Structure 1
Amino acid sequence: MNLQSPKVTVDKSPQEVFEFLSDVKNFEQLMPDNISKFEVLGEDKFLFALKGMPEIVLKKKEAVAPHKIVLGAAGGKLDFSLTGDIQETGAEQSEVKLTFEGEFNAMMGMMIKGPISKFIETLASNMPKAIN
């Protein structure tokens, strides 16, 4: 399964966006309103839960400054990644797109496609106001 957020424009340089996304505690500011739990578990790992969904632990897997950051599932039953691609679009301006990739059986795929699509859209749309 491969899901992509719409691209969002952030009035910051790619380096500033990269630094924001590299600090896992900043993801709390990007979470949707229906978050029921957020906990930083280490320098590169955090746990979150949305109402009605199981807890998910994300760990920073790869960082290529200032254009790409990859978070992946840290344990649990689901194996997936969340990639942030950052492109420079002008002086002090960047475009960010989030991509969710994972291997799921057909039944699981149907159940999570809607919530995950909405989740990554929310993360992306909250970015311009969170990164300041």
Structure 2
Amino acid sequence: MSVFESIVTVNKSVNEVYAFLADMNNHRQLMPDNITDWVSTADIASFNIENVTKLTLQISHRITGREIIITPAEKPPFDMELKWELTPLEDKSQAKFTITADLNMLMKMLASGPLQKLAHEETQNLAELFK
């Protein structure tokens, strides 16, 4: 398994950040520009990664105020899990975003850079939204 992580401090309470992340409709605001055809509900999002693939992701597990796990709702090109972990920091919070992907050697060479970039971009966009 390959793991891609990014951690950021957010200028909002854990409860506010959790409420935002617990709704898949909000995740479009965290995505990079190469995401198209976004369709979502509170639990599921479907979108295209330009010139790469189409994905449908769902929130499969929530621990209120602490953790959100997102998994594929349909068979993806490789098995993956996306996890948001929240930690309170006085009047702020820490958000850790982890992408775990089961990549063969070829996919690892092709996808490692974009997946790490995605993890970093999502956390940076989250911090920016809550400035």
TM-score by length of 1: 0.90
The 2-side partners of 1:75 and 1:50 are apart by 15
The 1-side partners of 2:21 and 2:64 are apart by 11
Q: In the comparison of the two structures, how many residue pairs are matched?
A: 129
User: 1:10-31 CA distances to partner (integer Å, 9 max, x unpaired)?
Assistant: 1111111111000100001111
Equivalent residue letter for 1:2 = V
Contiguous gaps of at least 5 residues in structure 2: none
Q: Does 1:18 align with 2:12?
A: no
Q: CA RMSD in A?
A: 1.4
1:71 aligns with: 70
Give aligned-pair identity as a percent. 28
TM-score by length of 2: 0.91
1:124 aligns with: 123
Alignment of 1:1-132 (within 5 A): 1-5=2-6, 7-40=7-40, 42-77=41-76, 78-91=78-91, 93-131=92-130
User: 1:33-90 CA distances to partner (integer Å, 9 max, x unpaired)?
Assistant: 22222111x3310012222210111100111110111101111232210000111111
Query: Which shifted more, 13-22 or 31-40?
Result: 31-40
Contiguous gaps of at least 5 residues in structure 1: none
